[in-house]
Amino acid sequence: MHDEPRPAQNEYPVWYFVYGDLADPSVLVELLDDNLRFYTAVIMGGGYIENFTPANNVEDLMFPTSIALQVETQEQEDMLRAYQGDAYEVVRCPIYVMRYAEMWGYGEEVPGLTFRLIKKATD
């Protein structure tokens, strides 16, 4: 038997790794609400996000750092997807959540999602 990929379709809450404008807490509050749970986070390796534009290219960083956000509902997820637009696809990735006092190390690994630029959309 094969394990189902996680997170599953329509599974909530779901972790999202967000970066750039979307990682700005004021943007997140405007899109979602002010009761958000988010943490500093990292992802390792660029294979999951290899098609970002140079402005959003986290591959060039040794340890790409941004925010792990727990999305609670389909409505919240739809708001994030609408903000990113059709040029991005949602892909699964392991997210390493850094909680409070963890300054070094990778933190707890959680299955999650992130946005990847669709290369064809920019050609």
Q: What is the CATH number of the domain that holds 105?
A: 3.10.490.10
What does the pLDDT read at residue 55? 34
| Residue 2 maps to a domain | no
Q: Looking at the domain assignment, is residue 76 inside a domain? A: yes
Tell me whether residue 78 is in a domain. yes
- Number of folded domains that form the chain: 1
The Cα–Cα gap between 50 and 43 comes to 12
Given a cut of 80, whether residue 120 has pLDDT beyond it is no
**Of residues 7 and 55, which shows the higher confidence score?**
7
- Candidates 73, 77, 71; CA nearest to 95 is 71
The rounded percent of the chain whose pLDDT value lies above 70 is 72
Retrieve residue 1's tokens: 């038997």
Q: What is the pLDDT of residue 1?
A: 56
Domain that holds residue 107: 14-122
- CA dist 91 and 114 (Å) reads 6
Domain presence at residue 4: no
pLDDT one-digit tens code per residue, 53-96: 333 334 443 344 588 999 999 999 999 999 999 999 999 999 98
21 in any annotated domain: yes
- Report whether the peptide linkage leading into residue 7 is cis, meaning its omega lies within 30 degrees of zero: yes
